[in-house]
């Protein structure tokens, strides 16, 4: 829980008057915003998935692409945001599709680096579903690269984590990458 007094002190440190009209409620609003933006620490990803597991004899790839996410970079506490694509090949267990988006949301609502978050999502799906393979690709814009430092406005960071058949089978990996980058089905 972020304390309002901490935000008040920060405002004073940067040379602002936290008592001026426009800033009087800012410590409260910022504290609430950070509580919201970091709420992923309060949830267990395994609990999210376990509530929606089903037995199914499907061994074909399941893909949920274009999952929007917003996170905070742990190095500068500035936002980064983009799309996450999650796929798995079931081995007798499937999960409600919305639960994959909820796992992405949970890990994005923590102080993060994109590389770790990509791995955390893949590892969680693998641990709970025990599928034949898992693939996660994340594409993100980092404000710490756009607003400060190198100030590169059009840079996009892409990370991936492949497990099981997605790692060992070039065909499986290629099918996944083709599905997430094809225009077929966009805007369905």
pLDDT for 16-47, tens place per residue?
A: 999 999 999 999 999 999 999 999 999 999 88
Start-end of H helices in the chain:
4-13, 26-37, 45-50, 97-108, 114-129, 143-146, 165-168, 170-181
Residue 165 maps to a domain = yes
Q: How confident is the model at residue 186 (pLDDT cuts 50, 70, 90)?
A: low
Mean pLDDT over residues 60-76, rounded?
Answer: 97
φ/ψ (deg, to 5) at 64: -120, 115
Range of the domain at 58: 47-181
Residue 167 maps to a domain = yes
Residues labelled as active-site residues: 73-76, 114, 142, 144
CA angle in degrees (0–180, nearest 5) for 8-143-40 = 65
How far is 87 from 132, CA to CA, in rounded Å? 11
Whether residues 21 and 79 share a domain: the answer is no
Whether residues 29 and 80 share a domain: the answer is no
Whether residues 10 and 103 share a domain: the answer is no
Residue 42 maps to a domain = no
Q: What is the pLDDT of residues 160-181, one digit of tens each?
A: 999 999 999 999 999 999 999 9
Whether residues 69 and 22 share a domain: the answer is no
Q: How confident is the model at residue 183 (pLDDT cuts 50, 70, 90)?
A: low
Look at residues 69, 62, 158 and name the one whose alpha carbon lies nearest to residue 107: 69
Q: What is the CATH number of the domain that holds 174?
A: 3.30.1130.10
Beta bridge partners of 164: 133
Residue 188 maps to a domain = no
This prediction has a pTM of: 0.93
How far is 142 from 117, CA to CA, in rounded Å? 14
Whether residues 133 and 170 share a domain: the answer is yes
Domain count, the chain: 2
Residue 159 maps to a domain = yes
């Amino acid at each position: 829980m972020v304390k309002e007094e901490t935000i008040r002190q920060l405002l004073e440190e940067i040379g602002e008057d936290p008592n001026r009209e426009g800033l009087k409620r800012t410590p409260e609003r910022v504290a609430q915003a950070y509580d919201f933006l970091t709420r992923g620490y309060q949830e267990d990803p395994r609990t999210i998935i376990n509530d929606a597991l089903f037995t199914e004899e499907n061994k074909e790839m399941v893909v949920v692409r274009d999952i929007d996410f917003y996170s905070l970079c742990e190095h500068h506490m500035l936002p980064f945001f983009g799309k996450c694509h999650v796929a798995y090949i079931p081995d007798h267990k499937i999960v409600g599709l919305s639960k994959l988006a909820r796992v992405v949301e949970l890990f994005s609502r923590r102080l993060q680096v994109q590389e770790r978050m990509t791995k955390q999502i893949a590892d969680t799906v693998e641990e709970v579903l025990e599928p034949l393979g898992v693939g996660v690709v994340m594409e993100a814009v980092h404000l710490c690269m756009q607003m400060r430092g190198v100030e590169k406005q059009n840079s996009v960071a892409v990370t991936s984590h492949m497990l099981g058949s997605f790692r060992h089978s070039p065909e499986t990996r290629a099918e996944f990458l083709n599905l997430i980058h094809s225009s077929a089905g966009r805007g369905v």
